[in-house]
Amino acid sequence: MADLYLKFVNTPAGKTAARSVGLPTPVTLKRQRRPDQPFIEGNILIGAANGGKAVVELGAILASGAATIFHANGSARLTDSANVGNRAKPVELDQESPDRYTALVFDATGIEDTLQLRGLYDFFHPTIRKLTTNARVLIVGLDPHTCKTPAKAAAQQALEGFTRSAGKEIGQKGATANLIRIASGAEKNLESTVRFFLSPRSAYVSGQCVRIGRGNRTARPDNQATPLKQKTALVTGGSRGIGAAIARTLSRDGATVIVLDTFSTETALKQVADDITGHALTCDITAEDAPDQIVDFVKRHSGSLDIVVHNAGITRDKTLGNMPEHFWDLAIAVNLTAEELINDALLEADLFQQNGRIVCVSSISGIAGNFGQTNYATSKSGVIGYVEAMAKRLKNGMTVNAVAPGFIETRMTAAMPLTIREAGRRMNSLAQGGQPIDVAETIAWFCNPLSTAVNGNIVRVCGQSLIGR
Ligand code: NAD
């Protein structure tokens, strides 16, 4: 499943050869090396449009990392440094500064109308070329649906186009750009999300808009390196690929993990369970008694559950006219119906602890559609509808979110024909496929106890694929 081209273009000879014939030269993405690694290092520049409501909170979050923090001055449209805390050093934007930045963070919550969008230009125009490889652009705005005037809603919506275009411009450096939209008063809930987007954990997440609501106040984990200590998680399809990476990542973060997969994967499943001192459950999630089997297993092994990740999935590709009915039925049953029935049973049996987490795995095919995948795209689109509707119903601090992976290097994508596989890998801002760990890290952020206000989001893990919106 290795991307040999990525390795080749990261040798001096390979880089020269690829450039000379106009081929993409993707950067090797930096990923989290150790759980206790600081979420960001180097120099960060923070700026805020006048009236920004999140800048104080952002300053405090950034100060908890290992970076040197600078604050942008020198524009009448940006707030001055006084607000951002003692550790931020002022930088005059209109003067040449030698610094290079690992992150540019901008609080756009103060932007009230479209004229004030000029603050974006003032902040990013002189600084965007100073980004290092693997750098981050992070913008915090307001949810346009909550804005009282059309002018404000337009200006806040405009941040999406800006973020996505910036992501496309900086992707060749392995850098990402993302937008966090907060409800009014939700700036206190930013921490886990800001840390995620600035860290190497979000290496393959770019061009995303995430909503943060008011949420419940939750206790801080004692140790940021093991935020899921004393939590129990169930991961379906956990014997290999993305599912095994999710299980290992949740275990790394302190959870006890039950991995579930079909009988045919039993040896690999037990191996994953043994590696992480978890439990293995062999079960076909489409079996009529699967929800009961899962409820019984959870009752016997842990008594309750904090996290369920519905990762098990299949493709059965055929154009619609050529598709046998069992291809249709199986894709819908595994990818969509099973997770609804399992959640119903877990909720009915009252097995979720307070602040529980449900995470579903959709796909960019469910957003954009894909040739030969009417069944798969139907199921993965249904997952999105399910998550959005469930998010409004859950109580007790529970959340439900979904990841929508793009091209991730697994057995599923290794089975694609070569030309389609190569196109899938390269057609994104980072010009490479993602790794299972990229999906797993995004799920770990949803599951963090401090992510209680992250609810009903669909986050693509696709390197900002050109496919879909
Ligand atoms: P994979 O085929 O390597 O793993 C899927 C796992 O689900 C397997 O272990 C399989 O045995 C299990 N599974 C299938 N049917 C099951 C059933 N009835 N009961 C229990 N387990 C079952 O695939 P992957 O690439 O790791 O994909 C994981 C998830 O990510 C899937 O939902 C997939 O649709 C989604 N996804 C993957 C990609 C990608 O590029 N790999 C892209 C978008 C979405």
Q: What is the pLDDT of residues 167-176, one digit of tens each?
A: 999 999 999 9
Under 8 Å between Cβ of 65 and 96 = no
Q: Are residues 16 and 37 in the same domain?
A: no
- Please choose, from the candidates 246, 232, 161, the residue with its C-alpha nearest in 3D space to the C-alpha of residue 461: 246
pLDDT for 205 equals 98
395 and 301 in one domain?
Answer: yes
Note whether residue 239 is domain-resident. Answer: yes
**What φ, ψ does residue 306 adopt, rounded to 5°?**
-105, -30
Q: Are residues 204 and 272 in the same domain?
A: no
For the ranges 89-98, 349-358, 374-383, the lowest mean pLDDT is seen at 89-98
> Residues 280-286: what's their mean pLDDT?
98
Residues 181 and 280 placed together within one structural domain of the fold: no
The sign of the dihedral angle between the CA atoms of 157, 162, 165, 168 is: negative
Ligand 1 and 311: CB distance under 6 A: yes
SS3 call for 46: strand
- Residue 81: the pLDDT is 63
Beta carbon of 240 within 6 Å of any ligand 1 atom: yes
State the closest ligand 1 atom to the C-alpha of 238, by its place in the atom list counted from 1: 9
Does residue 259 lie in a domain region?
Answer: yes
Domain count for the chain, please give it.
Answer: 3
pLDDT of residue 215: 83
Alpha-carbon span 104 to 70, nearest angstrom: 10
55 and 38 fall within a common domain: yes
- Residue 437 Cα to ligand 1 midpoint, Å, equals 14
- Would you say residue 440 lies in a domain? yes
Pocket test for ligand 1, best of 294, 342, 408, 460 (most atoms within 8 A of CB): 408
CA 399 to chain centre: 15
Residue to probe by mutation, ligand 1, list 259, 261, 293, most atoms within 8 Å of CB: 261
**E strands present in 35-148:** 43-48, 68-73, 89-92, 101-107, 131-142
Task: Say whether pLDDT at 284 is over 90.
Answer: yes
Sequence-distant (6+) residues with CB within 8 A of 303 are none
- Which two structure tokens, joined as six digits, stand for 53? 């409501």
CA of 241 to the centre of ligand 1 (A): 7
Question: What's the rounded mean pLDDT across residues 80-97?
Answer: 74
Ordered alpha helix ranges (H), 188-239: 191-198
Only one residue has tokens 């990261």, namely: 10
Residue of 1, 3, 242 to mutate, ligand 1, most atoms within 8 A of C-beta? 242
CATH of the domain at 322: 3.40.50.720
- Give, using CA atoms, the residue closest to atom 44 of ligand 1: 363
Query: How far, in Å, CA of 55 to CA of 85, rounded?
Result: 9
Q: Dump pLDDT digits (tens) for 412-432.
A: 888 888 888 888 899 999 999
Minimal-distance CA residue to ligand 1 atom 32: 313
Element (H, E) at 360: strand 352-361
pLDDT confidence of residue 86:
59
Q: Quick check: is 376 catalytic?
A: yes
Name the least confident of 136-140, 308-312, 410-414.
410-414
Residues 167 and 269 in one domain: no
Cβ–Cβ < 8 Å for 181, 209: yes
What's the order of all strands across the beta sheet hosting 209-212? 89-92, 68-73, 43-48, 101-107, 131-142, 176-182, 209-212
Of all protein residues, the one whose alpha carbon is nearest to atom 37 of ligand 1 is: 405
Q: How confident is the model at residue 469 (pLDDT cuts 50, 70, 90)?
A: confident
Gap from CA of 447 to ligand 1 centroid (Å) = 20
d(CA 341, CA 225): 33
Question: 12-16, 226-230, 231-235, 241-245 — which is least confidently predicted?
Answer: 12-16
Q: Is the pLDDT of residue 437 over 90?
A: yes
405 Cβ below 6 A of ligand 1: yes
Q: How would residue 17 be classed by pLDDT, with cut points 50, 70 and 90?
A: low
Asked whether residue 222 is domain-assigned, the answer is no
Alpha-carbon gap, residue 186 to 142, rounded angstroms: 10
Q: Is residue 80 part of a domain?
A: yes
Of 212, 241, 263, which one is at a domain's C-terminal end? 212
Query: 296 lies in a domain?
Result: yes
- Going by the DSSP 8-state scheme, the letter that residue 337 receives in this structure is I
Is residue 67 located within the same domain as residue 164? yes
90 and 63 within one domain:
yes
Q: Is the pLDDT of residue 267 over 60?
A: yes
Domain of 21 in residue numbering reads as 1-28
pLDDT value, residue 10: 77
Count the neighbouring beta carbons within 10 Å of the beta carbon of residue 221.
19
> What is the four-CA torsion angle of 56, 61, 67, 70, rounded to 10 degrees?
-10
Query: Looking at the structure, do residues 73 and 144 belong to the same domain, yes or no?
Result: yes
Q: Is the CB of 410 inside a 6 Å radius of any atom of ligand 1?
A: yes
Q: Among the atoms of ligand 1, which is closest to the Cα of residue 241?
A: 26
Q: Which amino acid is at 278?
A: G
Q: In ligand 1, which atom is closest to the CA atom of 376?
A: 34
CA of 444 to the centre of ligand 1 (A): 18
Residue corresponding to tokens 């610094």: 99
> What's the pLDDT tens digit per position in 177-226?
999 999 999 999 999 999 999 999 999 999 999 999 998 777 788 888 89
For residues 418 and 358, which has the higher predicted lDDT (pLDDT)? 358
Question: Following DSSP, what letter does each residue of 10-29 receive, concatenated?
Answer: TSHHHHHHHHHTT---PPPP
Please tell me the distance between residue 54's alpha carbon and the centre of ligand 1 in angstroms: 38
Same domain? For 22 and 38 the reply is no
Which residue do the tokens 């994953």 mark? Answer: 272
Q: What is the mean pLDDT of residues 304-315?
A: 98
Instruction: For residue 219, tell me if it sits in a domain.
Output: no
Looking at every residue in the chain, the average pLDDT score rounds to: 93
- Residue 314 CA to ligand 1 centre (angstroms): 5
Residues 136 and 258 in one domain: no
Annotated active-site residue in 5, 101, 204, 376: 376
pLDDT at 240: 96
